[in-house]
Chain A
Amino acid sequence: AQKVTQAQTEISVVEKEDVTLDCVYETRDTTYYLFWYKQPPSGELVFLIRRNSFDEQNEISGRYSWNFQKSTSSFNFTITASQVVDSAVYFCALSAGGYNKLIFGAGTRLAVHP
């Protein structure tokens, strides 16, 4: 079975705090892809990052960084020095065993307060 778990339903932080969003996945496939998407109030899902199962290198993009650990089946997302514009719902997703089929976690709603 394939599954993505985002245990944190809502997180509230004050601007400039660092925040980590957790993602744990399950799959029996050896080849798979992990994604993070951001959903602002407008509704569309905005692509943030894609990682394949053979690349465990961590990645940093500006204030965003991702930590992929196959040993714990986790793909966590950290926002450094959070800003109000980061307020959104963030989804972790898994693609495996099928064509362009994304299995999403329940999402984490992040609220960044001034």
Chain B
Amino acid sequence: KAGVTQTPRYLIKTRGQQVTLSCSPISGHRSVSWYQQTPGQGLQFLFEYFSETQRNKGNFPGRFSGRQFSNSRSEMNVSTLELGDSALYLCASSSSGSLNTEAFFGQGTRLTVV
């Protein structure tokens, strides 16, 4: 069974640009969550999608957005990139929307903003 796949693995962008990251969950999983990991702030929740609906959103500015497609694949977009957006972005998938569901993480996309 394939795991969670995130593409690309590495990305370098310039300040002011926008970027789109992709996450393919485990087959059959309908929930996809996104997290940002930085040395200063640690792991922070961005948002969660379940069956194409955003159900939960973390405390991030509107420049951070996402969506989920009918096949459960998800994308997150960051517009007007800032240096502080440099981070490891992790995607997690789980089979249902309940609290007790184990989340499986991808290897992440490391974004560097220069």
Residues on A lying within 8 angstroms of B by beta carbon are 31-33, 37, 42-47, 50, 52, 91, 95-96, 98-107
Residues of B within 8 A of A50 (CB): 100, 102
Interchain pairs with CB closer than 8 A, number: 74
Query: Across the interface, do B31 and A99 meet the contact criterion of CB distance under 8 Å?
Result: yes
Residues of B within 8 A of A107 (CB): 42-43
Residues of B within 8 A of A37 (CB): 105
- Shortest CB distance B69–A (Å): 18
B98 located at the interface, meaning its Cβ lies under 8 Å from any Cβ of chain A in the complex: yes
Query: Across the interface, do A100 and B43 meet the contact criterion of CB distance under 8 Å?
Result: no
B 14-71 contacts with A by CB, 8 A: 31, 33, 35, 42-45, 48, 50, 55-56, 58
Residues on B lying within 8 angstroms of A by beta carbon are 4, 31, 33, 35, 42-45, 48, 50, 55-56, 58, 88, 90, 92, 94, 97-108, 110
Residues of A within 8 A of B58 (CB): 101
Considering only CB atoms, which chain A residue lies closest to B31 in the complex?
Answer: A100
Considering only CB atoms, which chain A residue lies closest to B44 in the complex?
Answer: A104
Query: Across the interface, do B99 and A32 meet the contact criterion of CB distance under 8 Å?
Result: yes
Query: Across the interface, do B48 and A99 meet the contact criterion of CB distance under 8 Å?
Result: yes
Query: Across the interface, do B42 and A99 meet the contact criterion of CB distance under 8 Å?
Result: no
Known: A44-B105, A100-B94. A33 touches B100 (CB 8 A): yes
Find A100's partner among B33, B105, B108 (CB 8 Å cutoff): B33
Query: Across the interface, do A96 and B99 meet the contact criterion of CB distance under 8 Å?
Result: yes
| A99 vs B90: C-alpha distance when bound (angstroms) | 17
Query: Across the interface, do B103 and A47 meet the contact criterion of CB distance under 8 Å?
Result: yes
Query: Across the interface, do A99 and B50 meet the contact criterion of CB distance under 8 Å?
Result: yes
| A105 vs B43: C-alpha distance when bound (angstroms) | 8
Query: Across the interface, do B97 and A99 meet the contact criterion of CB distance under 8 Å?
Result: yes
